[in-house]
Chains A and B, each alone.
Chain A
Amino acid sequence: MDLVRDVLDIRLVDREGQGLGRVDGILLQLRAGRPPRFVAMEVGAVTAARRIHPRVAAIVRWATRRLFPCVRTTRYAPTLCRDLGVDIELDLVASKNPRLLRMEKWLGRHVVSKLPGGTW
């Protein structure tokens, strides 16, 4: 498998088809005398921004810390992959895991539900 071609920037979905973001980065473990090991897929604005420019990454890190302190970069182990195609399907359900989609859930609870018709 070519990690950059087949995995990087692909959309991740859970078992229910809910979007978890895109693979913004790939984490490899370097081992002496052996090929690197594919450790995790990273999803997060700072990871994506780092690929654009380190200065952009610094701005995004500063902004997310102040605006959305609950948001963290998420790592998914390759062993979670159920299906690899145009999207990658992971063996988990985001709605049941409080550590996933924190920003979506936080905005839903604290902003959308406060707007007229936000709870329908």
Chain B
Amino acid sequence: MTPEEASRPLWQDEFSVHSADERYVTRRQFTKFLVLTSLAMFVGQVWILVKSWFARQPEALPHQVVARKGEIEVGEVKLFTYPTAQDHCIMVRTAPDVYVAYSQKCTHLSCAVYYSKESNRLLCPCHNGFFSVDDGSVLAGPPPRSLPKVLIAVRGDELVATGIREA
């Protein structure tokens, strides 16, 4: 130990970093953190761009028989899954010859929607979101988008799901 160091008070050894220097370094580190956050935002944007690019490619969905004609009465519903077993859908017979089907997942927070025969609307009970049964558009409540529509084709005696049209 040099004589200069020996003559120095003990507290200067304990707190050897000058407070102004300490603050200076911290601000520089924080600046670096801000730049890295900016990079993360940019990467997020690129990710959305890539996702939207791939979403434009037409995706061939399977054709699937979901019900038979006359299986459900007017004003009744049938639940099915399409295109995978995890994608729950709801089909409503609104008139003798009219069948409409939508994804059952609410566009707000993914609760299951059901058909209210009294009001002739699709209802999400979680936050009182209402959708039109005719086109799946939002009538009231917090959902930001319409329900994805399942395209139904009548082939002979069968009702066939042929694809999904997003909102």
Chains A and B are bound partners = no
Binding site for A on B (CB under 8 A): none
Binding site for B on A (CB under 8 A): none
